Amino acid sequence: MSGLDKIYDKIRKCLVDLDGDCVLEEIDNALKNGSKAIDIVLVPLSAGMMEVGHLYEEGEYFIAELIEAAEIFKEAMRKLNSFLEKEVSGYRVKNRHRIVIGTVKGDIHDIGKTIIGIMLQAAGHEVHDLGVDVDVEKFVKAIIEYDADILCMSALLTSTARYMETVIKELERRGLRNKVYVLVGGAAVTPEYAKKIGADGYGKDAIETIKLINNLPAK
């Protein structure tokens, strides 16, 4: 295991143990050792949040632990924000999209959603982040209010990923479905599931999502 791999592993463990000070200290250590900010987010922070999610699903962690992990993650993102914006500057595009993004109802995980939102903004898109635990009415209202042409929905838990289909069906019912490109992602989502529920696309991770959106034609 390389030096950076050891640091990444410690970041992951500290996040799972809900030790925020340790997470921030090791992030500094990783940056000093030449790590890119996006790699810190996509490797140890993502792995740690996924592990916290699994512990929740298995009944070993509860809402309090999920919230604490989310707060530690947000603090880590604040530390990495300026680095991420610089690293994503090469993805700037000509076709600017109006994007509504959020984690679906019942799910308070926002790691993937937050990363993607930051990267899409850095690339020049107009992003409206609705946060976590977003219900169908809030999604619909935002799409209308901001005249969005892309909707990004995220879910970490299999129990909440089903809500994505509820949102898509409501868009169809209100005559909005053909006006917006629906992109779904998160640990609980697969390309097959995205197709099954009628989504237009699937984002494996932040990099793949931004590439997909950047290749879409302007509204």
Interval 117-146: pLDDT, tens:
888 887 889 999 999 999 999 999 999 999
In the predicted structure, residue 115 carries a pLDDT above the cut 70: yes
Q: Mean pLDDT across the stretch 148-167?
A: 94
Q: What is the residue range of 117's domain?
A: 92-214
Residue 103, domain member (yes or no): yes
pLDDT digits (tens, 9 = 90+) for 95-107: 889 999 999 999 8
Note whether 148 and 70 are same-domain residues. no
> For residue 195, how many other CB atoms are within 10 A of its CB?
12
Note whether 37 and 142 are same-domain residues. no
Instruction: Report the distance separating Cα 100 and Cα 135, nearest Å.
Output: 13
From 42, 60, 89, give the residue that closes a domain.
89
Note whether 110 and 57 are same-domain residues. no
Angle of the 63-88 helix axis to the 20-32 helix axis, nearest 10: 20
Residue type, 102: G
Note whether 27 and 71 are same-domain residues. yes
Instruction: Report the distance separating Cα 204 and Cα 191, nearest Å.
Output: 8
For residue 44, count CB atoms less than 10 angstroms from its CB and return exposed for 0-12, middle for 13-18, buried for 19 or more: buried
DSSP assignment letter at 192 = H
Residue 26, domain member (yes or no): yes
From 89, 118, 134, give the residue that closes a domain.
89
Tell me what pLDDT residue 184 has.
96
Which CB contacts under 8 angstroms, 24+ apart, belong to 84-87? Answer: 84/37, 84/38, 84/41, 84/115, 84/118, 84/119, 84/122, 85/118, 85/122, 87/36, 87/37, 87/38
Domain count, the chain: 2
Tell me what pLDDT residue 171 has.
98
Q: Mean pLDDT across the stretch 72-91?
A: 83
Q: Which residue has the higher pLDDT, 152 or 205?
A: 152
Band of residue 210 on the pLDDT scale cut at 50, 70, 90 = confident
CATH number of the domain that 126 lies in? 3.40.50.280
Instruction: Report the distance separating Cα 96 and Cα 94, nearest Å.
Output: 6
Contacts for 196 with CB less than 8 Å, ≥ 6 apart: none
Band of residue 90 on the pLDDT scale cut at 50, 70, 90 = low
Tell me what pLDDT residue 91 has.
65
In the block, residue with structure tokens 């799409």: 143
Residue 123, domain member (yes or no): yes
Tell me what pLDDT residue 29 has.
97
Note whether 124 and 203 are same-domain residues. yes
Tell me what pLDDT residue 149 has.
96
In the predicted structure, residue 216 carries a pLDDT above the cut 80: yes
Q: Do residues 143 and 101 lie in contact, with contact meaning Cβ atoms separated by under 8 Å? A: no
Note whether 196 and 157 are same-domain residues. yes
Tell me what pLDDT residue 99 has.
97
Tell me what pLDDT residue 92 has.
62
